[in-house]
Amino acid sequence: MQLTEKPIHYLRELLHSGEITAKQLVTSVFERIDEVDAQVGAYITLNKEEAFKAAERADEMLKQGDARDLLGIPIAVKDNISTKGLRTTCASKVLENYVPAFDATAVAKLKEAGAIIIGKTNLDEFGLGSSTENSMYKATRNPWDLSRVPGGSSGGSAAAVAAGAACGALGSDTGGSVRQPAAFCGIVGLKPTYGLVSRYGLIPAAPSMDHIGPMTHDVRDAAILLQTIAGPDGQDPTSGRMQPENYEAALTEDIKSLVVGMPAELIEEVEDAEVKEALFGMANVLESLGATVRKVSLPHSKFAVACFYLLAACEVSSSLASLDGVRLGSRVFEAEDTVTMFSKTRGLMGKEAKRRILVGTAALSGQYRKTHYERAQKLRTLIKTDLAEALDECCVLLLPTAPSAAFPLGHKVDDPVAMYQSDVFTSVANLAGIPALSLPCGYTKEGLPLGVQILGRPFDEVSVLKVGHAFEQGCSMAARRPKLEVGTSD
């Protein structure tokens, strides 16, 4: 295993003991990027110069005995999270030249903790998609099989971590965008409780369901990143008052007599035998560790995807309205009149973004506001209640992360509804705002990773991480990394 493929907590020891320097680590990461990123395509923008400066500063502090968790650790950031002075495109041509004047709170907290921002990772334009194929720059490829998608929309972050081109990453999750690519790329992805991590600086898709979350090699790393970026933020009115806990310290506890729920209606939807096997395999491991596994019912969960896409489209149509090249964003100047200018500028946006804007605009207009938007809002409340009741009986719930392992590039691009079904198991957590962790729990016969989600009570990240960690320790599965043919093009 390469140095850059090691987990953060392992690298932390090496840095603190002086066995390696931050500069060496950053050098290794950029070397790895040079080796693999032409094939993988994880990054849109690299932050090389600043990263080396930060590494020098980190090494100074390490020498002085500074032992912060993330000091000198190279982290990648999804390109819809604002980075001061570093171009933030959302993988859109509309924001091709947008350089934020401020850091997202999560980024500022990473920097304060001594982490080094390596670069900005690819995504579906504005986070709208499940395969990263909707990027207006390039497709990202799955390091486990370059003919397959890495998932999305945080596909660049997932692929970067899986390929050892970053030691950890921030992603964003509106309907599964951290968890599904984490599952496809064989890493851990956490969508925290809504309000635990500030959204300030996250360029919005659907603000009521957008979350920033860590993407890492293992659960311990996710805990470390989470405790760095979590906490109240005066700049985000939806951020909770909850102080972050020491999530890493909580990982030592066992899970005896903890109740794990298996949502029946959603599990019935699982068609892929390997996915089912991985899910029940995990349930068996947890049971063997002393947990009680039982069935629970989420009666409205079968409507979750429809409810999610409708509400998300409405919010997206509002969020993206200002990026019209007049107030914000690139403008097409070659136009005979104002109206043509508006229209040509809007032409810079990709198909999926336009589709969501149109659907959302329609669903908020005239009588559709009542028949569609408001009904979906009511449904959201019912789904939330279902989850609250299930989580009253159980401490955590288990669900597959995605209906299948990573699918081939181009497979679903012309069938948006099939693409939307990728979120069938993930979107419930966004609708309800509850924490959900995806972690690797097996591999297909072809050797592609599969993920399972652990969902928990609001602000109970401790249980979610604890269960994930217990599984990691208790399963007989060794940590695997993709085998990339270095230096060859596909």
Partner 1 sequence: MIDWDVVIGLEIHAELLTDSKIFCGCSTVFGGVPNSQVCPVCMGLPGALPVLNSRAVDLAIKAGLALKCTINEFSKFDRKHYFYPDLPKAYQVSQDDLPICGNGVVEISFEGSPRSIGIERVHMEEEAGKSIHAGESIMSSAYSLLDYNRAGIPLIEIVTKPDIRSPEEARLFLEKLKTLLEYTEVSDCKMEEGSLRCDANISLKPKGTDAFGVKAEIKNLNSFRAVQRALEFEVRRQKEILENQGTIVPETRHWDEAKGMTFSMRTKVDAADYRYMPDPNLYPVRLDAAKIETIKNSLPELPDAKCKRFIDEYGLPAYDGEVLTGSRALADYFEKCVQEVGDAKLVSNWVMGEILRWLNAHNMQIEDSPVGPADLAKLVKLVQGAEVSNIIAKDVLEEMFVSGKSAEQIIDEQGLRQVSDAGELEKMIDKVLEDHPDPVNDVKSGKLQAVGFLVGQVMKASKGTANPKKVNEIIRARLLD
Q: Does 326 bind partner 1 (CB under 8 A)?
A: yes
> Which one of residues 97, 147, 322, 381 is an interface residue with partner 1 (CB under 8 A)?
322
**Token couple for 87:** 């171009």
Rank residues 67 and 326 by Cβ distance to partner 1 and give the closer one: 326
Report the distance separating Cα 18 and Cα 20, nearest Å.
5
Question: Which one of 43-51, 295-303, 364-372, 457-465 is the stretch in contact with partner 1 (CB under 8 A)?
Answer: 364-372
Rank residues 95 and 275 by Cβ distance to partner 1 and give the closer one: 95
Report the distance separating Cα 256 and Cα 290, nearest Å.
4
Q: Does 203 bind partner 1 (CB under 8 A)?
A: yes
Residues in the interface with partner 1 (CB under 8 A) total 43
Q: Does 328 bind partner 1 (CB under 8 A)?
A: yes
Residue 303: burial class (beta carbons within 10 Å; 0-12, 13-18, 19+): middle
Rank residues 57 and 331 by Cβ distance to partner 1 and give the closer one: 331
Q: Does 82 bind partner 1 (CB under 8 A)?
A: yes
Question: Which one of 173-181, 366-374, 408-416, 439-447 is the stretch in contact with partner 1 (CB under 8 A)?
Answer: 366-374
> Which one of residues 35, 236, 269, 277 is an interface residue with partner 1 (CB under 8 A)?
236
DSSP per residue, 453-476 = EEEESTT-HHHHHHHHHHHHHHS-
> Which one of residues 340, 365, 371, 381 is an interface residue with partner 1 (CB under 8 A)?
365
Per the CB < 8 A criterion, the answer to whether 210 and 199 are in contact is yes
Q: Does 381 bind partner 1 (CB under 8 A)?
A: no
For the bound state, the minimum distance from the C-beta of residue 236 to partner 1, rounded and expressed in Å, comes to 5
Rank residues 339 and 417 by Cβ distance to partner 1 and give the closer one: 339
Of the candidates 82, 92, 135, 153, the residue annotated as catalytic is: 153
| Number of residues assigned to the chain | 490
Q: Does 286 bind partner 1 (CB under 8 A)?
A: no
Strand order in the sheet with 211-216: 43-46, 116-121, 74-78, 168-173, 211-216, 188-191, 436-443, 449-456, 396-400, 259-263, 292-296
Rank residues 1 and 326 by Cβ distance to partner 1 and give the closer one: 326
The residue type found at 85 is G
Rank residues 327 and 445 by Cβ distance to partner 1 and give the closer one: 327
Q: Does 186 bind partner 1 (CB under 8 A)?
A: no
Q: Does 200 bind partner 1 (CB under 8 A)?
A: yes
Q: Helix (H) and strand (E) counts for the chain? A: 18, 11
Instruction: Please choose, from the candidates 428, 429, 438, the residue with its C-alpha nearest in 3D space to the C-alpha of residue 472.
Output: 438
Angle 328-331-333 from CA coordinates, rounded to 5°: 150
Q: What is the dihedral of CA 199, 203, 206, 211, to 10 degrees?
A: -40
Active site annotation includes 63: no
For the bound state, the minimum distance from the C-beta of residue 345 to partner 1, rounded and expressed in Å, comes to 13
The residue type found at 295 is K
**Token couple for 269:** 């939807």
Q: Does 235 bind partner 1 (CB under 8 A)?
A: yes
Task: Provide the 3-class DSSP secondary structure of residue 145.
Answer: strand
Active site annotation includes 153: yes
Q: Which residue has the tokens 């009253």?
A: 392
For the bound state, the minimum distance from the C-beta of residue 154 to partner 1, rounded and expressed in Å, comes to 16
Active site annotation includes 191: no
Residues 396-415, interacting with partner 1 (CB under 8 A):
none
Report the distance separating Cα 450 and Cα 441, nearest Å.
6
Q: Does 104 bind partner 1 (CB under 8 A)?
A: yes
Q: Does 207 bind partner 1 (CB under 8 A)?
A: yes
Q: Which residues are catalytic?
A: 78, 153, 177
Question: Which residues of the chain form contacts with partner 1 (CB under 8 A)?
Answer: 81-82, 90, 95, 98, 100-102, 104, 199-204, 206-208, 234-238, 314-315, 317-318, 321-324, 326-328, 337-339, 361, 364-366, 369, 373
